[in-house]
Structure 1
C-alpha cells in the first residue's frame, strides 16, 4: 500500500484543529520579530490549537546554526558518521554493538570475506549472493548506500526470494556504493506494534563539559507494508518519556503523507500511550558509550531493539531536528538544549 501525498497546503487548509487566522497571524509576527526570519516552519505543526508554547520550537535559522556549528561538529568525528562503512568498521573495532558487516560494494566491485568479485552481469550477482547466504546462514541481508540518509536507496534481500529481488535492484546495486549487513531480528514487543520494518529509536545526544548528555528520544515506525521506518518514506514517529522510557500518547506523520496525529498504529491498532520500550535503559547506555568514542557535539543515533538488547544502526550529525522538536513538545524548553544553543 502506498500512502498518497495530499500536499502540505491542502493538509493545512483542511485541518479542523488549526488556530483562528487572527491568532496565527499574531503568532507568526511574534516569531518573525523574535527569530528574525519568516517562520514558514510554523505551518508544519505550530498552527495547531493545542500548541501553546510555539516559541519553544526550533526555528529554521536556529536549526541551520546547529548543523553548521564548528563548536558542535568536528570533521574528525563527522567523517566516521557520514560513511556507513567507516562507521561499521569503527564500531566493530571498538566493541560498539551494531549490525554485523557481511559485505560491501563499490559499483561492480563486491567485497566478501577476503575476496573481491567483479560483477559482469546478473548471473554473477545472483551467484555472489547465493554464496553470501550459503556461507553466512542469514535469512536476510539489509543493503544501505554508504552516504545517503532518511532511508534513501535502502534494499532488503531475503534468502527465499533474493533472485527475484535482484532483478529489480540490479542496476541500482551496480551503479552505487553500498554496505551489506545482517538482517536483524526485532524484539517481539516492538513487532507487536509493527513487524514489517525494523522500528528504531532516535536518541539525540550532546556533550556538556566532556560528559555525554541525552537530550531526547522518539520511536520511528514503519507503516503501510513498508520495510523502512523513516518519516520521509511514509512512516511516523512517537515521542518517548525520557525518564520512564514509555511512549507518549500521540504519533505524528509528516505533512507530505497527510500530517495525521495518531494514538494507535494505523495497520495494527496498537495503542502507544505508556508502552514501555524494552531495553530502553540499555539503549541509552549504548549511545552514551558510542558518543564517548565519537564525541561529536550533536548526534542523532538510530537504535534497533532486538530480542537480546539494543544495537546501533547508525549515527547522524544531522539529527532530524523537526521530528525531535515535535516529539519533545518544543526542544528549546529542554535545559540541555538551552545550554547547547548558548554554545553556538
Structure 2
C-alpha cells in the first residue's frame, strides 16, 4: 500500500503531465489577447498600480499561453514541497486532505498570485478564509507600495527608528513612554536622571537602533547588585562600564524595566507584552484611524514578545479589547490555535486587554505627535505603572497584521489610504 507521501507525489506527477500536454497543444495555437475587467475597489486599483509599476510575471500580457503553462508546471513542484512540509499538520488539525491542500494552493496562486507560505500562513485551506483570499496583501506588495508612498510623500521615517529621538518627541508632546535613564555612544554616557547613576530597580538595555529584540539585556536589581539573565552580577559602576563598552560598536539605551499589568502577566512567560496598534493619519488636520490591533506575548523561555522570534500573537477586537486564539509565525505551527498560553496555562481566547480604551487613545495621540507619517505600527504596553508607548514602526509587517485571526489588510481602508497619498504627493 502506498504511503500518503507517495500518493501525493503520484498526483503531482499526473498534474505535471497534464499541464505539459496542455502546453504542447497550446504551442500549436496562437495566444489569446490579454484582457481584464476594470478595477472596482481600492484594493484592485492598488494591485493594478503595483503591476503597472513593478510588473507581474504571472500576468504578463506578452507571455504566451505555452510559456504560462510551462511556468505553472514548474511551480507544481513548489506546491508539492509545501504540502509535504506543512500538509500533515493541517490534515491532523483541520481534517483537510493533502490533495485538497495541493489543489487549493494552485487555485490561490492562479487567481490571486498568493504563494504556498501565504496559503498556509493565512489558512486558505479553510473555506471561510478562502472566500477572502484575494483581500490578503502579499508581503512584497505591501512593502513596495508602502515605500513608494513614503517616497511620494517625501517624508523621513527615521524619527521612529532613532529611539532616543523618539523618546524626546514623545516627552515634548506629553505621550507616555518608557523613560530613558542613560544613553551610551562610542564609549561615552549621557545621563537623563538626576542621580547620574543607575537607579536601584530592575533595568533594561537595548540598542538605540535595534529591531526584533536583538541585543537586549535585562538586569534584575537586588541588594545593590544587578544580575543578568545569565546570572552575571555587576555593581552599578561596572554595569555602566559594561554598557559603555557595548556602545563602541552600537549605541545603547538604558531604561527602567516595566512589568506587565496583572491581567497580562498571566499571558507571558516573563517578557513584556505589547499591543501592536496600526494607525493611519492622512494629514495633520485628520484624525488617526485604527486599522489593526494585535497582542504579542512571550512564550516558552523567551523574554521578548517578538512574533518573528517565537512569540505568540492574538487578534484583538478593536472595539472591546477581547482576544481571539493566538498563533505563531513559524509555518510549521501556523495551523495551531493557542487558546491557552502554552507556558502559563491561562486562557488567551476570551481574555480582555485591560485599559483598552486608553491603549487605542494613546495610539491615536502618539500618531498626532508624528503627523508627517501616513501609517505607523505602535507597540504599546499595559504595565503596573500605566499604559505606555514602547516604540513606533514606520514599516509594520503585513504578516503580524494579517495572520492572527486571518484578517486581510485589503478589507481595511489601507488600500484607499495608499492610493490617496500617492495622488496627493508631497506635503
Q: TM-score range by the shorter chain?
A: 0.7 to 0.9
2:174 matches 1:95: yes
- Normalized per residue, the structure richer in strand is 1
> 2:98 and 2:204 mapped to 1: Cα distance?
47
- Pair 1:158-2:220 in alignment: yes
Decide whether aligned partners of structure 1 residues 342 and 218 sit closer, same or farther in structure 2, where only a CA change above 3 A counts.
same
Alignment partner of 1:14 is 2:74: no
Q: For the structure 1 residues 11 and 146, does the alpha-carbon distance in structure 2 shift closer, same or farther, using more than 3 Å as the test?
A: farther
Residue equivalent to 1:83: 162
State the partner residue of 2:391.
Answer: 314
User: How far apart, CA to CA, are the structure 2 residues paired with 1:273 and 1:221?
Assistant: 13
Q: For structure 2, list consecutive stretches of 5 or more residues without a partner in the other structure.
A: 1-81, 423-427
Aligned partners of 2:262, 2:203: CA distance in 1, in Å? 20
Specify the SS of the correspondent of 1:70.
helix
Deviation at 1:22, TM superposition (A): 4.5
Q: 1:165 to 1:58 in 2, by over 3 A?
A: farther
Q: Is 1:181 matched with 2:259?
A: no
CA distance in 2, matches of 1:315, 1:111: 23
Aligned ranges for residues 234-253 of structure 1 at < 5 Å? Answer: 234-248=310-324, 250-253=325-328
Residue 323 of structure 1, CA deviation: 1.4
Aligned-pair CA distance for 1:11: 5.4
* CA distance 1:11–1:187, shift in 2 (3 Å): farther
- Which of 57, 64, 72 is 2:143 aligned to? 64
Counterpart for residue 330 of structure 2: 255
- Any idea what the Cα deviations from partners look like across 1:160-208, whole Å, max 9, x if unmatched? 3526166997664543211111111321111122261110000001124
2:380 is matched with 303
DSSP-derived class of the 2:346 partner: coil
Structure 1's unaligned 5+ residue stretches are 1-7, 116-129
Q: 1:219 pairs with 295, 299, 307, which one? A: 295
From the superposition, tell whether residues 332 and 100 of structure 1 become closer, same or farther in structure 2 (CA, over 3 Å): closer
1:49 counterpart = 2:113: no
Change (3 A) 1:38 1:307: closer
- Offset at residue 226 of structure 1 (A): 2.1
Q: Does 1:148 pair with 2:210? A: yes
Aligned length: 319
Aligned to 1:127: none
**Residue 187 of structure 2 contacts residue 246 of structure 2 at CA under 8 Å; is this kept in 1?**
no
Moved more, 74-83 or 258-267: 74-83
Higher relative contact order (CA 8 A, sep 6+): 1
Give the secondary structure class of the aligned counterpart of 1:262.
coil
The normalised TM-score by structure 1 is: 0.81
In the superposition, relative to structure 1, how do residues 48 and 165 fare at CA in structure 2: closer, same or farther (>3 Å)? Answer: farther
- SS of structure 2 residue aligned to 1:61: helix
Return the TM-score normalized by structure 2. Answer: 0.67
